[in-house]
Amino acid sequence: MAKKLVLIGGGHAHMVTLANLKNFIDKGYSVTVIGPSEYHYYSGMGPGMLSKTYTPDDIRFYTRKVVEDRGGSFILDSVVRINPVEKLVHTKAGRKIPYDVLSCNAGSYVADPGFTGDSDNIFSVKPIEKLLQAQQKILELTTTRQIEIAIVGGGPSSAEVAGNIIQLVEKSGGHPPKINIFAGSSFMKRFPDKVRRLVKHSLTRRAIEIIEDGHAKLISATTITMENGQKYNADLIFMATGVNPSTLFADSGLPVGPDGGLLVNRHLQSEMHPEIFGGGDCIYFEHNPLDKVGVYAVRQNPILYHNLMAALEDTELKAFDPGGPYLLIFNLGNGDGVLHKYWLTFGGRLAFLIKDYIDRKFMRLFQAIEN
């Protein structure tokens, strides 16, 4: 009987494997890809989609088509549990899918501090599709009046969402919104001082207020209540409190890292269950814990592809080298950006144009395999 390769998710770390699915099929292996959407959206361009710099088609990859065109099976469903003893993947719809080799690119979710009441006005920044819903709501409300928007979280997602909301409303001719970023004790605190200063300047010159005097204690559909008791009104609330790996692995009793991500070794492989591999935001790289940024998923691509084939063929695995420092660029809306790598840090239109060029080139590369 043919060995079975199962992929959970069609994200960045699986792109090279998806492009080469026919190589698995031609060798007699069956391939099944399970995903909650027929498309995979590139999160790095999500804020730009919010502002209509990009269309949804610009930033998504048609996973289902790629899989089926190459002879694989695509299942539109969510994985809720992995049984490593029986080598079964359990889905939300009740399917039980057997595997010989399993690779996980299950992504991450935005941490939720909890809120009360109606949540129709509350949007998380992931999954990216949520930003499309928020876009329509913003345009609808700002046509008639000024609204107040709260963004909970002090990282780059909050900065990019805030700046791109301003661009969206300005281009639509709506009433300029009042935007508050609730950044906890320090905005962008894990980044160098110059990066923080440039991002802050870009936002505050467009009347975006950054609040750094404590964390939100209680969130309702229309109110943010701070630890000190102060209350802020909000017509819309964005949750940008940082990403956590999928809870799938902890829920399945698999070995995980301190953040709950699938614990993997240098081969992107579970030590306890060597037929299970993973990449992207959902893993915890034991040798050298990695930031939750897309560049590592992209770097993991060829290693995962090689190791999945090697696991099926019982040949030698390759070790993943995370590489050196990565280029960091933020899209702050209105054609403004901030770029940082090594000693080089600058803001302005050139930073945005560099990011735009890199992102569009990346998407063209992988969208080309749809044809």
pLDDT band at residue 231 using 50, 70 and 90 as cut-offs: very high
pLDDT band at residue 37 using 50, 70 and 90 as cut-offs: very high
Q: 369 pLDDT exceeds 90? A: no
Sorted by sequence, the CB contacts under 8 Å of residue 369 that are 6+ apart come out as 18, 19, 66
Q: What single-letter amino acid sits at 217? A: K
* DSSP assignment string, 67-129: HHHTT-EEEES-EEEEETTTTEEEETTS-EEE-SEEEE---EEE----EES--TTEEES-STH
221 neighbors 208 (Cβ within 8 angstroms): no
| Mean of pLDDT over the chain | 93
Q: 114 pLDDT exceeds 60? A: no
Across the beta sheet with 337-341, what order do the strands follow? 328-331, 337-341, 344-348
Structure-token pair, residue 313: 């063929």
Q: Which of 324, 318, 354, 360 is nearest to 338 (CA)?
A: 354
pTM of the predicted structure, to 2 decimals: 0.92
Task: Provide the pLDDT for residue 293.
Answer: 84
Q: 215 pLDDT exceeds 60? A: yes
Coil vs helix vs strand at 56:
helix
Q: Each residue of 176-207: pLDDT tens digit?
A: 999 999 999 899 999 999 999 999 999 999 99
% of the chain at pLDDT higher than 70? 98
Q: 117 pLDDT exceeds 60? A: no
pLDDT band at residue 115 using 50, 70 and 90 as cut-offs: low
371 neighbors 360 (Cβ within 8 angstroms): no
Structure-token pair, residue 357: 């060029």
Residue with more model confidence, 370 or 152: 152
Q: 316 pLDDT exceeds 90? A: yes
Q: 249 pLDDT exceeds 70? A: yes
Boundaries of every domain in the chain: 4-36+77-109+243-326, 112-241
CB-count exposure of residue 226 (10 Å: 0-12, 13-18, 19+) = middle
Task: Provide the pLDDT for residue 22.
Answer: 94
47 neighbors 334 (Cβ within 8 angstroms): no
Task: Tell me the CATH class for 112-241.
Answer: alpha beta
Task: Provide the pLDDT for residue 332.
Answer: 98
Task: Provide the pLDDT for residue 348.
Answer: 97
Instruction: Give yes or no on whether 4-36+77-109+243-326 and 112-241 have one common fold.
Output: yes
Task: Provide the pLDDT for residue 113.
Answer: 55
* DSSP assignment string, 293-357: -HHHHHHHHHHHHHHHHHHHHT---------S---EEEE-STT-EEEEETTEEEEEHHHHHHHHH
Q: Each residue of 118-159: pLDDT tens digit?
A: 578 889 888 888 999 999 999 999 999 999 999 999 999 999
Task: Provide the pLDDT for residue 242.
Answer: 78
Which of the listed CATH numbers 3.10.20.740, 3.30.1330.10, 1.10.3720.10, 3.50.50.60 matches domain 4-36+77-109+243-326?
A: 3.50.50.60
